[in-house]
Structure formats: structure tokens, C-alpha cells
Structure 1
Amino acid sequence: MGRADKVVLAYSGGVDTSVCIPYLKEEWGVKEVITLAADLGQGDELEPIRQKALDSGAAESLVINATESFVKDYTFPAIQANALYENRYPLSTALARPLIAKLLVEAAEKYGADAVAHGCTGKGNDQVRFDVSIAALNPNIKVLAPAREWGMSREETIAYGERFGIPAPVKKSSPYSIDRNLLGRSIEAGPLEDPWTEPLEEVYDLTKAIADTPDEPEYIEINFERGVPVGLNGQGLDPVSLISRLNEVVGAHGVGRIDMVENRLVGIKSREIYEAPALLVLIQAHRDLESLTLTADVTHYKRGIEETYSQMIYNGLWYSPLKGALDAFVHQTQERVSGTVRLKLFKGNATIVGRKSEKSLYTPDLATYGAEDTFDHKAAEGFIYVWGLPTRVWSQKLRES
């Protein structure tokens, strides 16, 4: 008797997840492997991937299009929270993991599987995100991670797969490890493992090199309703179309590249390259619109919430109680965050040059230094006296001692 009779395996079509199919059956005694490939707007043709799973020994091969849910239920809340891990990475890859975990658990329940599986290794963040999310959604289901335990090198993994009719990659066309979805691409490994090495242009796909960008700036306007982006240049767009269109427009100006050394959850530092044109610009614009529509105390308090929120997504705690509580706070703050932000795209920069909102707290006749000024300047003296009183008393006592 193996660890499980029927398993739902998260499947990408790559070497590791393909080899997981015969490995689960031959080494761990699994009788039936059902694969699940999630379409999250990565642009791959998924029918060959579906067929490859069957050719590799899967009893059934599922392909689920979850792109709309990916944007509405996972990406938009992260934008409302201005989620940037270590104040730089907009979590484009991390946001996909809780959704894939949810699809795995739902499929396991639908098909009567007693376990789910993934092809993550023991060094990355994704294993934590999958395992913890699955446990939160169904604490009774087993999680199998063959690649974390089999101890095979890549060459040995390929050789093992060939024994069961899984074709080896024709060639190692790229030294990089790449993950892609609608929100962007993450690139690591190969020459990038040296943090001193400049990335070659070949690693990028969604963003143009500065030398190839237009010589004239382009202005765009992003429309928000209650913290959610709903349109571009006054035209209402569905969530998936909005992200897709923004990726094209923003990426064409070389905006959206990140090169960083990040702190992984498992304790190691990793050099990562990200491309996330639309997501970065949306967070930038959303945060600016909040400066116009939120009170000072809410804005300042929310910054700390945002850092915690970002860490929770990165660390695989999307379905945790604290994340749910923070969601309630963020949702409440977004009631007034409606309006339009204008950006100037030029030579790798997205610069905010205008913002407007019917919910704006900006009051021209208070802010102006012109004749229309209605601010009571005399009131400032009394305010300063009261505000500075503790400091003044402290200073006096210091001098007396």
C-alpha cells in the first residue's frame, strides 16, 4: 500500500512534474495520478501539455482556465494593499500559488483523491506556499512532494523519465528557470546566480530595452473604483484585458523590470529578475490615488499593514486568519479610493503627473498660497504652542538638572 491511492498533481509540463507521474506510481505505489494544469494567462498552448501528461502516465489530465479569478480574487486585493515584498517585488508569481492550491483541493474533493502533489524542490518558496495553503483549505488531505525527496540531479531525473517514455528536452535551450503568468515573468538561475553579473537582454520578454523604446513620451490614464482598476484612458476594460493591455503599453517603454536579491522564506538569499509592467504601474498609481483620498492617519497606518500583507503573501499565508483580518481593514479603506491617475511613460520610467477624484480630500482654497487662501494663519501659533509643549517642558527640565 502506497502513501495514497489517488493523487491530484499540479502539472506544468516540465521535466520535474512529468517525472512525478511515473515516480508516484512506481516508487510510492500510487494507483492513479490525475494532473491539473492551471491556465493563469501564461500564454502557453495548454493542449500539448494536457496530452503530455496523458503520455507520461496520467489517468486524467485537467486544464482549468482560472485567469479571471487570478486577477479579481488575488491580484486586485494585492493592488488595494499596495503589496510589494521588501518594497520592490509585486508578488506576481507568489499570488498564483494560493489559487493553484485551491484548484488542487477542489479537484481532489471532486475526484475523490486522498492526496495532492506538486513538483517543488526543497530550496524554494513555492513548496511552503502550496503546503500551507492546502493545509488551510483542507487540513485532512495529504500533500506529496516527490521532487523534495527523490534526491535525483536534473540529469538523473531526465534519465528516470526516459525509462517511462518521457522524452528528454531536445536541448537545454536556456540556462534560466522561468515562471510566467498574466502578471509577469520571474527569471532566475544560470548566469544570474552571480549577483554581480548584469542580466543579458535575452532574459526579458515583456519589456523593451531602453535603446528600443519610443523617443516620445506616452501619457496614459488609469481609472479606479474603490481601489480596483476598471479602465484605461477612459475606456472600461474587464480585469484580464486591462492587465494584458497595460503590460503591452507599459512594457513597450521599458517599464517594469526588477533586479533584486531577495530573502527567501527558507533562509537563503536569491538573485531574482522580474518583469511585471502592469502590476508595478497599477500599484504605483493606486498608492498615489490613496494620497488624494485617504486621511493622513489611515494612510500612515496602512503602510505598516501593507508590509505585513506583502510578507504574508510571500510566505504562503494567504488563507490565514491574520490575512483575513487585514483584508477587512484594507477593504474598508478602499471605499473612497475612486478616481483617475495620469502617468507619463518614457525611457524606462513611469512618472505620475496628475490625479483627480470626486472623493478628493485636497482642498485648493486651503492649500493655495494665493489670494484665495482661506487657511487661518493665526490659528497656527496656538497649535504650535500646544503641539510643542511636551518637548518644551522636557527641554526645560533637562537644563535644570
Structure 2
Amino acid sequence: METRDIVILLIALLVVVVLAVVVKPAITGENPDLSLPFLPGSPSGHDSSPSITQDFTPAATPKKTDVQTPEPIHTWNGSPVELGYVRDATPVLPQIPGDSGDSPQAYPAGAPETPPVPGILTASFSASPTEGSLPLPVTFTDTSTGVPERWKWSFGDGTTSTDENPLHTYTTEGRFSVSLTVENEYGANTRINQGLVTVTPAGKKDVALHAPRGASIAPGGFVEFTVTKPASRIKIAGVVEELPVGGRIRLVVNDPGKGKIAMRKDSIQDYSFEEVILYIDGEYRQRGEVREINVQGYEGLISSLELRIAGGEGEIDLLENGSPVAISWKNAPLSLISLRPDSSGIMILDCYWPDVTSFQGAVTSYHAQEPESPGG
């Protein structure tokens, strides 16, 4: 065979190989087999050729780490204590001691704000009313900031209280300065209001009344006086209590307020009610029904007793200093304020019966309750 024939044969063989190795896989989609098993020194099989695999899948974008930036929810009175932070618009509380911490503590839905925490104190308070006639009950309200834990009030008349919002009744005339000291773990602070409360003498009108209606003493009303003669006593809740000379006595009437009072010439013969509270020199002594009392002598009497006469049919006869008084609304309820003995030293009250009431004595004022208009 000539050289030219050998070359032609080799070229033809090469074409066959190219068709088998390159063109066919391109048509069928198979991977080309680049091994040449027919070449000398080449092992048979596909495993001998290096297999190179290129993964063209784009790498996942790294996730941005969420950073919790504490955003204080609320601090109270400048307290340095941070109460929590906001995450995804949800308030999150700090870790509670002893809690496992598996789940964050969140405020209840609709909570208006975080609870106040103690801080630096600034004492302040309000009072109502701050002016009136004797006796004058005044309600004091603590408005301090910093969350007080303890209170000490001084009312300017020698009396004190440790209540948060006390009710104090002034029983002497004058102007009174009031102070409040508040305390907590951060310290204490005091506020003094000079001349805050002014108490004026009680007005006095001698009156006589007869009403064909029931009446009662408003709960909490009292008489207070100083005993001047020995052998004074009261039987309350079945127990006889001696009333010492010089002792300051307070008799408070509670519900239902139905009963009788008789005072003549600086002595007390009757103070009969179902529920009376007895105080001696500011100290509680007893409470219960009173059917017997004998005070041989007294002085310095003050009264906050209010007689409330029910509305209804029947005309009320009311005299002031012996002259008839025209009542604007004849069937309306009527109130007599601060019942006490008149200029002659007499006070007689009978409001025990359900359909009749009588009174002779003095009052600071009286007024009828205006009836409501129809539909209003």
C-alpha cells in the first residue's frame, strides 16, 4: 500500500472518530467521551479520564443579621431604669428574675403605658375645699411624682396622718399650713403649703321645723365637745364608757341615721341611734347602738350633723328666729346643715319615725333640692 493510501485511510478513520466522539453527543445531548481506548497505553473505560464538574448555581446572598437597637418604651419621673425595647412594633419587657427566658415578655394588648417605677421624689398635693365654716372636712390628695411608698401629713392643727389620701376635719378656726413628706428607696421630699386651709366661724340660725315626712342624719356626721363635769357616761353596744373630765368626745352617726337627740343648758340627755362610733381624745373606743347617755356638762361643741328630710307630699313648717320661711319647692327634699343648740342652749331632734320629723335648734344653713325638670 502506498503512502498516499495510508494517509487517506488515517484521515477517514479520524473523521469517523470525530463523528462518534463529538458530533453524536452534540445531537443526542450526551456528554462526549474524550477517552481514546484505541490509543496505545490508554486504559479502557471512562473512569480513567478526569471528571470535572462545574456548578454554576449562584451563591446564596448572605442574610443580614437583625440588630436589636434598644428603644426605651418609657421612663417614669426621670428614672434611669430602662423598662424595655420595641421589636417589630411590639414592646418587650426585660428579663424577669427567675424566668426561663424562652419567650419574651410582652405588655398586654391595649396597655396604655408601662407601670410606674420608683424614682427621685417630688412631693406635691391638692386639697378640697380649702375654705369653709367650722367644722370643715377637707380631702387631701397626693399628686407626688417618683412613686412614693410612705406618706406623712401634717395638717397644721396638731394632727397628722400616714394615709396616702386622707380626709381631715378641722374643728378650730384659723388659717392652717399643710405639709406632706413622701419617701421611697431613693430618698424623701417635703412640700409645705403655707396658709392653705382657712376655717371660719360657723354661721348660726335659730330654727324650728316640723315636717310630715321621714328624715335621717347623713352618714359620717358628728358632734364633738369637751366634758366639763364628772359622772358623765355613755352606754354603747351594751358597754358603759366613762367620759372623763377634760376629755374631747366625738360621736359619729352612721347608717341608718334614724334617732333622737336632746341637749339642754350645756348637758346632753339623749343621743339615740342604731350605729354610733365613739372617740375619746382622738382614739377609737367603741361602736354600736346607743340608747343611754348622760353628759353632765360640756363646752366647745361643734357639729357636722346634716338632717336630710325626704321629699314628698305634706307641707314643711320652718321658722327662722320665730318667722315663717317660704320654701321654694314645697315637695322637694330639704337639708339642714350643722345641727347644734340654739341661742338658748336647746337642741331637740326627733327623726326616728318614718312619717314625721321635728327639730328645734340652730343650723349653719338650710336648702331645698331643686326638682329635676321633666325629661332631664
TM-score interval, normalised by the smaller of the two chains: under 0.3
Query: Structure 1 length normalisation: TM-score?
Result: 0.20
Query: Structure 2 length normalisation: TM-score?
Result: 0.21
Q: Which one scores higher on RCO, CA 8 angstroms, separation ≥ 6?
A: 1
**Structure that is richer in strand per residue:** 2
